[in-house]
Amino acid sequence: MEKALPIMLLAGADKNIHDDLQNIFKDTYKIISADNEYECFNALSNNKIEIVFVTLNLQIMDGLDFLKTLAQDSRYKNLPIIAIVTFGDFDSVSRAIESGASDIVTTPLNEMMVTYRTRNVIAHCQQAEKDKQILEMNRYLEIDALTGLYNRETFYDKAANIIHDNPEVQYCIVYLDISCFKVVNDLFHTETGNLILKTAADYFQKKINPQIGLSGRIEADHFVLCVPQDTLDMDRLIRELDDTIKSLGISHNILFFAGVYPVADMTIPVDQMCDRASMALNKIKGNYARRYNFYDVGMRDRMLKEQMIVRDMEFALKDNQFTIFLQPIYRPETNEIVSAEALVRWFHPESGMISPGYFIPVFERNGFIVKLDRFVWETVCKFLRSRLDAGKKIVPVSVNVSRLNFYSYDLLIFLLNLLKKYDLEPWMLKLEVTESAYTDNPQQLIKIINQFKENGFPILMDDFGSGYSSLNMLKNIDIDVLKVDMAFVREIEHSERARIILLMIIGLARELGMGVVTEGVETQTQLDYITNMGSVDIQGYYFSKPLAVKDFNALFDKYNP
């Protein structure tokens, strides 16, 4: 007997969309169409529906109302729902997500994108259903076994009660976690990680008066507090928490970061309050100058955009939406291009070009930057190989090595295999590191950079002078080239102090046998000041913006025939 196909419900779509989905899923789904809410709920009641597609931009039915109704019905909490919107209608995208859609596709429908998102959203919802069942099985347990704090569900329930029972009190939700906690577990093993968590929990239990507040452990290294605003002193809390963790004597810089949501709306669920506090935390995660941050309403829009970035990143990499641009680095004395920096760009099929200033921090937080860096490195190697195969001259290209790469056991092996694969030499690939990698784990960075040097890779320190550990890093690590932070260049036209500091940096590099690249040079005056200070290479819009590969090739062949 032939196995029956799973059922897909198509709500409020016209014939063209129905036909498109039929063509895409003809071998995998039976499609039921419904024109209004009555027909939709009738179909849901009488069939085992695996996934629902809802059209928002047609007048046959109000798709947003239908989404909201589904979201409020516990029977359909983990039912996968994909909203269909018109390409470019960003308002409908955000409204659909807020109304309960699991994901979005746009018309005209792209078969690969629709198939990919359908598979992903079903897997996500199935996992959510499993998680729900596990939570329900363990709901009677109120206490987190490791730390003795309230677990996630108990914290949500008790925080809701305390907030609603005391309407005259202004409460705050504080969401905390540890920077790079996975690294702590990897370096010191789980026992040490557990000790840190239990020590932090003990501090929270002593700090929070149970008569007026409470504390909980959400998961892993994520803690949450509910306290009256007039008792909350975040500077003191972070300082005392630092001192408590330091007392353990662990040889690693273990730092908590926090986001704070002042409860402005008591009607929203506590889990959403925690999400807002988490948004505030993510805004400053890894920023060692700021250890806590307060939620503001603009974070909602940024969250929606970040959700889109995270949702699409894996597919974007497979779909070749990322590409490299090359920014030339010039030597003014000879007017030659002596190097270039590879910069990644994301051309999204719906949103256009997404700024690296937006997606790079997101990827650094969720770890995807490791995959993206490796894509960039290999793309640069392909570029160099293509020029060599064409009998053309090349210059070394510098690539960024984000700090998370230094926790990859196969980092050096991967780079050496790339050189072998494309028959290149190490001098052709310059590696740029930043101060943040040194701040996280100086000994690990020193060890790996020494290995890079032993294998012939040139090392550049990017954004030199932008942080508080630049000189300390310079003292301990054998760097080949300093890339001076562009903030100094912007100031030299009207700041004598900036000119003196830049002159001292160039002199310091010369004494240490290092090269210097000044970034962000945009004007003739800036160029004149810098070239009068000594032999310095120049990177900036004065000579060239970052260029697509074909444009870089044309420019390079002109300057370096």
**Length in residues, the chain:** 561
Q: Which residues of the chain have pLDDT under 70?
A: 1-2, 57-61, 134-140, 286, 436-441, 466-470, 560-561
Residues 6+ apart with CB under 8 A from 276: 173, 259, 261, 295, 299
Instruction: Please say which residue of 279, 296, 313 terminates a domain.
Output: 296
Instruction: Examine the domain organization and report whether 260 and 357 are in the same domain.
Output: no
173-195 residues labelled b (16+ CB within 10 A) or e (exposed) = bbbbbbbbbebbbebbeeebbee
Domain containing 42 — which CATH number?
3.40.50.2300
Q: Are strands 81-86 and 103-107 parallel, antiparallel or unpaired?
A: parallel
Cα 401 to Cα 382: distance, rounded to the nearest angstrom: 18
How far is the CA of 269 from the CAs of 259, 266, 272, in angstroms? 17, 8, 5
Residues 6+ apart with CB under 8 A from 53: 8, 9, 10, 11, 13, 17, 21, 81, 82, 83, 84, 105
Asked if 293 contacts 235 with a C-beta cutoff of 8 angstroms, the reply is no
Tell me which amino acid residue 49 is: I
Q: How many CA atoms lie within 13 A of 194 on its CB side?
A: 8
Domain ranges, residue 29: 7-137
Instruction: Examine the domain organization and report whether 450 and 541 are in the same domain.
Output: yes
Instruction: Examine the domain organization and report whether 112 and 208 are in the same domain.
Output: no
Q: Judge whether 147 lies within some domain.
A: no
Q: Judge whether 369 lies within some domain.
A: yes
Instruction: Examine the domain organization and report whether 291 and 215 are in the same domain.
Output: yes
165 closest CA partner among 174, 175, 157: 157
Instruction: Please say which residue of 251, 266, 296 terminates a domain.
Output: 296
Asked if 160 contacts 199 with a C-beta cutoff of 8 angstroms, the reply is no
Asked if 507 contacts 527 with a C-beta cutoff of 8 angstroms, the reply is no
Instruction: Examine the domain organization and report whether 345 and 386 are in the same domain.
Output: yes
Instruction: Examine the domain organization and report whether 382 and 502 are in the same domain.
Output: yes
- How many Cβ atoms from other residues are within 10 Å of residue 309's Cβ? 20
Cα 244 to Cα 217: distance, rounded to the nearest angstrom: 18
Q: Judge whether 143 lies within some domain.
A: no
Handedness of CA 285, 288, 293, 297 (dihedral sign): negative
Cα 220 to Cα 461: distance, rounded to the nearest angstrom: 34
3-class SS string, 56-117: CCCCCCCHHHHHHHHHHCHHHCCCCEEEEEECCCHHHHHHHHHHCCCEEEEECCCHHHHHHH
Calculate ∠ Cα 384-373-339, nearest 5°. 40
Instruction: Examine the domain organization and report whether 275 and 320 are in the same domain.
Output: no
Domain containing 434 — which CATH number?
3.20.20.450
Please tell me the predicted confidence (pLDDT) of residue 58: 46
pTM (2 d.p.): 0.59
Please tell me the predicted confidence (pLDDT) of residue 470: 62
pLDDT in tens, 237-251: 999 999 999 898 887
Based on its alpha-carbon atoms, the radius of gyration of the chain, rounded to whole angstroms, reads 27
Question: Which H/E stretch holds residue 8?
Answer: strand 7-11
Number of domains forming the structure of the chain: 3
Average predicted confidence (pLDDT) for the chain: 87
Q: Which one-letter DSSP state was computed for residue 406?
A: G
Q: How many CA atoms lie within 13 A of 35 on its CB side?
A: 4
Instruction: Please say which residue of 296, 316, 351 terminates a domain.
Output: 296
Tokens describing residue 139? 């709901």
Instruction: Examine the domain organization and report whether 550 and 495 are in the same domain.
Output: yes
Instruction: Examine the domain organization and report whether 314 and 288 are in the same domain.
Output: no
For the chain, report the end-to-end CA distance as a whole number of angstroms: 71
Asked if 551 contacts 531 with a C-beta cutoff of 8 angstroms, the reply is no
Please tell me the predicted confidence (pLDDT) of residue 136: 62
